[in-house]
Amino acid sequence: QVQLVESGGGSVQAGGSLRLSCAASGYTYRNYCMGWFRQAPGKEREGVAAIYSDGSTFYADSVEGRFTISKDNAKNTLYLQMNNLRPEDTGMYYCAAVFKFLTRSTLFEASAYPYWGQGTQVTVS
């Protein structure tokens, strides 16, 4: 059974940094796409970053240059380093996984990911 468990959220001032972690377990697939999504109150869930099993990374325009997605395969852990945070980055952050490659057009579509963590809150003031 695939499990994703996020941690690392918190409250920071604008301009600050946070690093989110997502511990993954219960799978042995070699090909995957893992992503970070966020959802602010009253808004739809949006994709912010994704990484393929070959190491390719992708970012939403709103976080390009400020956020970095990475994965430690030895620890089976996904990370999202968030720098220069802005109030509009506030929201619940979720990690998600799908065990196949996605096309660029579906990379940030929440419906393309069957596996989700429980989320971790990020608040920027």
**Phi, then psi, of 111 in degrees rounded to 5:** -70, -15
What is the gyration radius of the CA atoms in the chain, in angstroms? Answer: 13
Length of the chain, please? 125
- Predicted confidence at residue 104, as pLDDT, reads 87
What is the predicted pLDDT for the residue at 119? Answer: 97
Q: What is the pLDDT of residue 28?
A: 73
What averages of pLDDT result for each successive group of 10 residues across the chain (125 residues)? Answer: 95 98 87 94 95 95 97 94 98 96 92 97 98
- Identify any residues that bridge with 38 across adjacent strands, giving them in sequence order: 46, 93
- What is the pLDDT, as a whole number, of residue 13? 98
Per-residue confidence (pLDDT) for residue 30, from 0 to 100: 80
